[in-house]
């Protein structure tokens, strides 16, 4: 390769920096899994103690007739003092049999199950929760509030494991491990199960260590009364991510949020790409909104909280900007390919070898965090980055196998074909996102579910989440309708 001029050197350095920035999500994943072992030493268990405050459970419910009954029955069976647990179902003007079911359970358990009816519904989960909070916080009996979804099923010991952390007055709220619990799983729910292991059992343990929690799971969050009163006694209503904003506000008031990995709550998750897309689009748009709302917080360390730390900011923005990072790396690699193909090949190999090492380390670690999920979803754990990414990892590690394989089938590579393959490899990130957009488009067609599943396995579940994030950018830029869309649940959770 000819010696580079100063302008060429400056351009190459700039492009290499772009590739490095594009690799930040992989670096963040590596840091999180390297932090995980520290949770054995840096956790909240030393300050936890047996503690059973009076808990008011607030369940927002709109047309939850298929799931509300089992959810309440499981709450009544919790390993928790019965006299210290009251259940308030906030019926958001349901039009199905939800009111009748709740009234029947309430009549069977007077004083323990309360039906609260809203005459005007459809304003969103936060408004529904606030209706319930107005009632339970008006009663001095309430010492803690458990906010949950109508479809989740709590393990018998889960509330006791959550409440022990509130023995420490500095703790404002505790969240549980929401695990995918459908009895009739399909490929997508198995992918979601692995995602929850990574995003909760791994990432939130790391957040425990770093002292800042990004989000209390909307399906299971136990607040002290003091924490709710400190944030005004209400759930914020100005965003689609009300649970995340509540988490931020509690920490900004100086209270600690804790993730309890041993408190297990089973949930039913979407079984179709379109259903998952609608659910995660709301989450992604909420995060975009919060990024703007808290724009003065990022990367500004504080003695009150750790939300402004570099580690937390890195984790937040590598998720929020993952598609942008992917496009930046792809564009920089393609430019390097055109200008200096030798440098591009070297950088490409290094990037994908690093990605392969992090992938192997993180997945082998993750499947051990929840052995049940590891056994049921091992195929999805292997295929999480997609077949295309696995091929790129193999090519980066063993580049000679690619050419030897083609040679064995009589396909010798020319310079032009090498360039064409390089373009496809370097642009695989954007191509995979287009692939999952196609998966959503064809899913409703005859035979479309099979094709959609095949595309997800090829392009990767991570690319699906990236494509949804891109859609959230577009929707926020266009200021599209931001009404709260309910995820349909029909009671598939194994109780």
pLDDT of residue 455: 97
The reply to whether 330 and 421 lie within a common domain is yes
| Span 440-457, average pLDDT | 96
Whether the CB-CB separation of 252 and 304 falls below 8 Å is answered with yes
Lowest mean pLDDT among 230-234, 354-358, 447-451, 475-479: 475-479
Task: Give a yes or no: residue 47 inside a domain.
Answer: yes
The reply to whether 134 and 283 lie within a common domain is yes
Listed in sequence order, the residues at least 6 apart from 388 whose beta carbon sits closer than 8 Å to its beta carbon are: 428, 431, 432, 458, 459, 460
- Is residue 409's pLDDT more than 80? no
pLDDT of residue 449: 95
| Span 321-338, average pLDDT | 93
The reply to whether 292 and 330 lie within a common domain is no
pLDDT of residue 146: 97
Residue at which a domain ends, from 270, 299, 328: 299
Q: How many CA atoms lie within 13 A of 104 on its CB side?
A: 10
What's the number of domains the chain is made of? 2
pLDDT of residue 406: 64
pLDDT of residue 481: 72
**Encoded tokens for 45:** 């268990």
Confidence of residue 124 (pLDDT cuts 50, 70, 90): confident
- Is residue 484's pLDDT more than 60? no
The reply to whether 246 and 380 lie within a common domain is no
pLDDT of residue 52: 97
Confidence of residue 183 (pLDDT cuts 50, 70, 90): confident
Helix axes 322-339, 310-320, angle to 10 degrees: 80
Task: Give a yes or no: residue 425 inside a domain.
Answer: yes
SS3 168: coil
Q: What is the CATH number of the domain that holds 153?
A: 3.90.550.10
**Encoded tokens for 251:** 């920490």
Q: Which residue has the tokens 């949930």?
A: 267
Whether the CB-CB separation of 93 and 123 falls below 8 Å is answered with no
pLDDT of residue 367: 93
Comparison of pLDDT for 493 and 326, the residue scoring more: 326
pLDDT of residue 357: 96
**Encoded tokens for 455:** 């595309």
Alpha carbon 363 to its chain centroid, in Å, reads: 16
Task: Give a yes or no: residue 27 inside a domain.
Answer: no
- Is residue 96's pLDDT more than 70? yes
- Is residue 437's pLDDT more than 70? yes
Domain of 192 in residue numbering reads as 41-299
Q: What is the DSSP string of 322-386?
A: HHHHHHHHHHHHHHHHHH-HHHHHHHHHHHHHHHHHHHHHHHHHHHHHSHHHHHHTHHHHHTTT-
Rounded CA-CA distance 297/295 in Å is: 5
The reply to whether 248 and 394 lie within a common domain is no
Residue at which a domain ends, from 266, 299, 332: 299
CA angle 493, 145, 205 (to 5 degrees): 65
pLDDT of residue 362: 96
| Span 16-33, average pLDDT | 94
pLDDT of residue 123: 76
Confidence of residue 125 (pLDDT cuts 50, 70, 90): confident
pLDDT of residue 419: 85
The reply to whether 348 and 287 lie within a common domain is no
Whether the CB-CB separation of 85 and 55 falls below 8 Å is answered with yes
The model's pTM is 0.92
The reply to whether 234 and 277 lie within a common domain is yes
Torsion sign across C-alpha atoms 411, 412, 417, 422: positive
Pairing relation of β-strands 153-154 and 85-91? unpaired
Task: Give a yes or no: residue 305 inside a domain.
Answer: no
Task: Give a yes or no: residue 30 inside a domain.
Answer: no
Helix-then-strand count for the chain, H and E? 22, 8
Comparison of pLDDT for 84 and 402, the residue scoring more: 84
pLDDT digits (tens, 9 = 90+) for 268-313: 899 999 999 999 999 999 999 999 999 999 999 998 999 999 999 9
Task: Give a yes or no: residue 462 inside a domain.
Answer: yes
Alpha carbon 194 to its chain centroid, in Å, reads: 11
Rounded CA-CA distance 245/109 in Å is: 34
What is the percent of the chain with per-residue pLDDT over 70, rounded to a whole number? 95
Whether the CB-CB separation of 187 and 272 falls below 8 Å is answered with no
| Span 467-477, average pLDDT | 94
The reply to whether 198 and 286 lie within a common domain is yes
pLDDT of residue 468: 96
pLDDT digits (tens, 9 = 90+) for 234-259: 998 888 889 999 999 999 999 999 99
pLDDT of residue 488: 64
The reply to whether 252 and 222 lie within a common domain is yes
Task: Give a yes or no: residue 251 inside a domain.
Answer: yes
The reply to whether 96 and 242 lie within a common domain is yes
The reply to whether 348 and 249 lie within a common domain is no
pLDDT of residue 398: 87
| Span 67-84, average pLDDT | 93
Task: Give a yes or no: residue 324 inside a domain.
Answer: yes
Lowest mean pLDDT among 315-329, 378-392, 413-427: 413-427
Containing H/E element for 433? helix 428-442
| Span 379-397, average pLDDT | 94
- Is residue 4's pLDDT more than 80? no
Comparison of pLDDT for 211 and 489, the residue scoring more: 211
The reply to whether 462 and 403 lie within a common domain is yes
**Encoded tokens for 157:** 């010991």
């Amino acid at each position: 390769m000819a010696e580079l001029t100063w302008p060429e050197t400056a351009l190459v350095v700039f492009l290499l920096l772009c590739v490095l920035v594009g690799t930040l999500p992989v670096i963040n994943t590596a840091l999180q899994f390297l932090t995980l072992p520290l949770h054995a030493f840096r956790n909240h268990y030393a300050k936890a103690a047996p503690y059973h405050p009076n808990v008011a459970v607030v369940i927002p419910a709109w047309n939850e007739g298929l799931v509300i009954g089992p959810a309440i029955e499981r709450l009544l069976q919790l390993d928790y003092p019965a006299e210290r647990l009251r259940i308030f179902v906030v019926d958001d003007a349901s039009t199905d049999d939800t009111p009748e079911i709740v009234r029947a359970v309430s009549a069977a358990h007077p004083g323990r199950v309360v039906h609260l009816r809203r005459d005007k519904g459809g304003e969103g989960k936060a408004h529904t929760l606030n209706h319930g909070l107005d009632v339970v916080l008006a009663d001095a009996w309430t010492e803690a509030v458990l906010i949950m979804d109508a479809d989740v099923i709590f393990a018998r010991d889960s509330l006791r494991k959550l409440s022990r952390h509130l023995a420490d007055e500095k703790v404002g709220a505790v969240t549980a491990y929401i695990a995918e619990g459908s009895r009739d799983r399909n490929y997508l729910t198995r992918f979601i199960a692995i995602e929850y292991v990574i995003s909760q059992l791994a990432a939130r343990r790391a957040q425990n260590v770093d002292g800042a929690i990004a989000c209390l799971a909307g399906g299971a969050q136990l607040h002290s009364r003091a924490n709710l009163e400190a944030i005004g006694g209400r759930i914020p209503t100005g965003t689609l991510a009300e649970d995340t904003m509540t988490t931020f506000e509690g920490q900004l008031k100086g209270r600690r949020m804790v993730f309890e990995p041993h408190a297990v709550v089973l949930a039913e998750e979407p079984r179709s790409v379109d259903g998952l897309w609608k659910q995660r689009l709301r989450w992604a748009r909420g995060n975009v909104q919060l990024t703007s709302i808290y724009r003065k917080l990022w990367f500004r360390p504080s003695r009150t909280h750790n939300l402004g730390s570099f580690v937390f900011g890195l984790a937040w923005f590598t998720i929020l900007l993952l598609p942008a990072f992917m496009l930046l790396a792809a564009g920089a690699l393609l430019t390097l390919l055109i200008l200096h193909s030798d440098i591009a090949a070297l950088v490409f190999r290094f990037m994908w070898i690093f990605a392969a090492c992090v992938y192997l380390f993180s997945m082998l670690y993750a499947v051990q965090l929840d052995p049940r999920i590891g056994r049921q979803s091992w195929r999805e754990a292997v295929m999480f980055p997609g077949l295309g990414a696995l091929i790129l990892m193999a090519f980066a590690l063993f580049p000679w196998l690619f050419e030897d394989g083609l040679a064995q089938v009589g396909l010798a590579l020319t310079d032009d074909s090498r360039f064409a393959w390089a373009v496809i490899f370097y642009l695989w990130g954007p191509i995979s996102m287009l692939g999952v957009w196609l998966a959503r488009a064809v899913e409703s067609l005859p035979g479309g579910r099979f094709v959609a599943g095949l595309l997800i396995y090829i392009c990767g579940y991570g690319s699906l989440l990236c494509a949804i994030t891109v859609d959230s950018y577009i929707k926020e830029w266009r200021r599209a309708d931001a009404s709260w869309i309910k995820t349909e649940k029909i009671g598939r959770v194994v109780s």
